[in-house]
């Protein structure tokens, strides 16, 4: 697949056009940011870990009935994906209280939740990705009702599949963020990435944090932890 010009550069990935207008190449970087870009750094080989891990998980989710943008991994850092229009929503699922949920509602990190929480943030860096609800999304026409219903449905399905996947690998899936896009036919596809950047994963035995919180909170062993998560994902 011939690689053409760069379409976009984000905080963690670059996106390139290809000879096929329906296909793009995503290239994962080692750049790390946190707190809406205020903290910046590099995590050696993070791009490799996130690319490979995302593709393994997208493959499993696809088999479980969640359509994804994945076409084919091209190299350690590059993957061919379907072109989509990303819905400007961060779809967050929480199984256990942590991060901004713990702060906002005053609950200790690690507290169990009486039910799974689905929450949305409006993807808008200038506004700091504010929390948003279903009514806001429809009032602002960020998605249609049918798209929203499908996104909710897929998000819970992704959670069920991933919880079991990580449980079998000695990891607790605390929370995660996913993004969806719409392809040229109007089909909703799971897009972006699933990685230690976008999931909170705690060791099932020790509760050690095995995700981007090691970078956010300066906990050390950042590179080693990303590599260890990939090793467990590979099984």
Which residues bind to ligand UDP, rule: CB under 6 A?
90, 92, 98-101, 129, 175-177, 197-200, 212
Min dist CB 192 to ligand UDP, Å, is 9
Residue nearest to ligand UDP (CB): 99
Q: Name the minimum Å distance from CB 216 to ligand UDP.
A: 7
* E strand intervals along 99-182: 112-122, 131-132, 171-182
d(CA 29, CA 44) in angstroms, rounded, equals: 9
Least Å distance, CB 19 to ligand UDP, is 31
Nearer to ligand UDP, 10 or 186 (CB): 10
Closest to ligand UDP by CB, 30 or 90 = 90
Question: Residue 203 contacts by C-beta under 8 Å, 6 or more apart in sequence?
Answer: 170, 171, 172, 210
CB of 185 to ligand UDP, least distance (A): 27
User: 80 vs 174, which CB is nearer to ligand UDP?
Assistant: 174
Q: Which is nearer to ligand UDP, 110 or 186 (CB)?
A: 110
Which residues neighbour 172 within 8 Å (Cβ) at sequence distance 6 or greater?
Answer: 95, 96, 166, 201, 202, 203, 204, 207
CA proximity to 192, closest of 90, 124, 121: 90
- 55 vs 195, beta carbon nearer ligand UDP: 195
CA 189/CA 183 separation, integer angstroms: 7
Shortest Å distance, C-beta 104 to ligand UDP: 9
Give min distance, CB of 27 to ligand UDP, in A.
19
Q: Measured in whole angstroms, how far is the alpha carbon of residue 158 from the centre of its chain?
A: 11
Q: How far is the CB of 119 from ligand UDP (least distance, A)?
A: 8
In 3D space, the residue among 25, 30, 31 whose CA is nearest the CA of residue 8 turns out to be 25
Our CB check for ligand UDP shows the closer of 79 and 198 to be: 198
Q: Which is nearer to ligand UDP, 92 or 162 (CB)?
A: 92
Beta bridge partners of 28: 13
Residue pointed to by tokens 């050690």: 208
CA angle 47, 205, 112 (to 5 degrees): 90
C-beta neighbour count of 139 within 10 angstroms: 10
């Amino acid at each position: 697949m011939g690689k053409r010009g760069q379409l976009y550069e984000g905080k963690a990935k670059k996106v390139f056009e290809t000879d096929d207008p329906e296909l793009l190449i995503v290239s994962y970087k080692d750049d790390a940011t946190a707190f809406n870009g205020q903290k910046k750094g590099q995590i050696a080989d993070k791009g490799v870990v996130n690319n490979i891990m995302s593709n393994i998980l997208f493959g499993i989710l696809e088999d479980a009935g969640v359509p994804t943008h994945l076409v084919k991994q091209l190299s350690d850092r590059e993957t061919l994906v379907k072109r989509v229009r990303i819905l400007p929503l961060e779809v967050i699922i929480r199984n256990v209280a942590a991060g901004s949920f713990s702060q906002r509602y005053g609950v200790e990190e690690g507290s169990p939740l009486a039910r799974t929480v689905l929450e949305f943030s409006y993807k808008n860096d200038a506004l700091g990705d504010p929390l948003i609800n279903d009514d806001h999304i429809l009032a602002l026409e960020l998605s249609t009702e049918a798209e929203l219903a499908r996104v909710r449905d897929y998000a819970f399905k992704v959670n069920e599949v991933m919880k079991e996947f990580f449980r079998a690998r000695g990891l607790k899936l605390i929370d995660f963020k996913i993004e969806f896009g719409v392809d040229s036919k109007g089909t909703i596809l799971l897009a972006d990435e699933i990685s230690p950047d976008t999931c909170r994963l705690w060791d099932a035995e020790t509760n050690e944090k095995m995700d981007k919180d090691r970078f956010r909170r300066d906990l050390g062993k950042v590179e080693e932890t990303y590599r260890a998560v990939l090793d467990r994902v590979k099984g």
